[in-house]
Amino acid sequence: MQNKKSLLLVVLFLIAFGAVSSYGQKKSKNDNVDELRTSPKLVVGIVVDQMRYDYLTRFWNHFDEGGFKRLVNDGFNCKNNHFNYAPTSTGPGHTSVYTGSAPATHGVIGNNWYDKVADEEVYCASDDSYASVGTTSDAGKMSPHRMNVTTITDELRLHTQMRGKTIAVAFKDRGAVLPGGHTANAAYWFHGSDEGNWITSTYYMNELPKWVNSFNSSDIVEQYKKPWTTAKPINTYVESGRDNNTYEGLLDGEATPMFPHDLPKLWEGNGKYNILKVTPYGNSITTDFAIAAIEGEDLGKDQNSDFLAVSFSSTDYVGHFYGVNSKEIQDTYIRLDADLQRLFKTLDKKVGEGEYTVFLTADHGAVNVPAYLKDQKIPAGYIEFDDMKSEFEEFLKYKFGTTDIVKNFSNYQYFLDHKVIKNLDIEVADAQQIIAKELLNYEGVDQVYTGQQMWQNNYTSGIPYILQNGYNQKRSGDVLLVLKPGVISYSRTGSTHGSPQIYDTHVPLLFYGKGVKKGSTNQRTEIPDIAPTLASMLGIAFPNGTTGKPIIEVLE
Dihedral sign computed on CA atoms, order 155, 159, 161, 165 = negative
Residues of the chain with pLDDT under 50: 1-30
CATH architecture, domain 384-442+445-483: 2-Layer Sandwich (3.30)
pLDDT for res 36: 81
Q: Which of 77, 75, 69 is nearest to 53 (CA)?
A: 77
Strand partners, 513: 357
In contact, 46 and 68? CB cutoff 8 Å: no
**Strand blocks (E) in 91-215:** 112-115, 120-123, 132-133, 166-170, 186-191, 197-201
Report CA Rg, the chain: 26
> Cα 457 vs. chain centroid, distance in angstroms?
28
d(CA 150, CA 148): 7
pLDDT for res 37: 86
Q: In angstroms, what CA-CA distances link 80 with 2, 15, 50, 83? A: 64, 51, 16, 10
The amino acid at residue 224 is Y
pTM score: 0.93
Among all residues, which ones are annotated catalytic? Answer: 90
In contact, 514 and 348? CB cutoff 8 Å: no
Residue-wise pLDDT for 212-241, tens only, equals 999 999 999 999 999 999 999 999 999 999
d(CA 86, CA 82): 11
List phi, psi (to 5°) of 81. -100, 135
Start and end residues for every CATH 3.30.1360.150 domain found in the chain: 384-442+445-483
Residue-wise pLDDT for 475-524, tens only, equals 999 999 999 999 999 999 999 999 999 999 999 999 999 999 999 999 99
In percent, the amount of the chain with pLDDT more than 70 equals 94
Which residues, 6+ apart, have CB-to-CB distance to 489 below 8 Å? 382, 383, 384, 385, 483
Start and end residues for every CATH 3.40.720.10 domain found in the chain: 42-251+262-368+500-554
In contact, 320 and 49? CB cutoff 8 Å: no
pLDDT for res 33: 58
d(CA 200, CA 267): 25
The CB-based long-range contact list for 186-192 (8 Å cut-off, 24+ gap) reads 186/297, 187/142, 188/212, 188/289, 188/293, 189/139, 189/142, 190/277, 190/282, 190/285, 190/286, 191/134, 191/135, 191/137, 191/139, 191/140, 192/271, 192/272, 192/273, 192/274, 192/275, 192/276, 192/277
List phi, psi (to 5°) of 398. -65, -45
> Cα 16 vs. chain centroid, distance in angstroms?
57
d(CA 392, CA 403): 9
In contact, 324 and 369? CB cutoff 8 Å: yes
Using N-to-C axis directions, what is the helix angle for 314-322 and 281-296, rounded to 10°?
170
In contact, 494 and 369? CB cutoff 8 Å: yes
Class of domain 42-251+262-368+500-554: alpha beta
In contact, 176 and 263? CB cutoff 8 Å: no
d(CA 126, CA 135): 16
d(CA 28, CA 260): 62
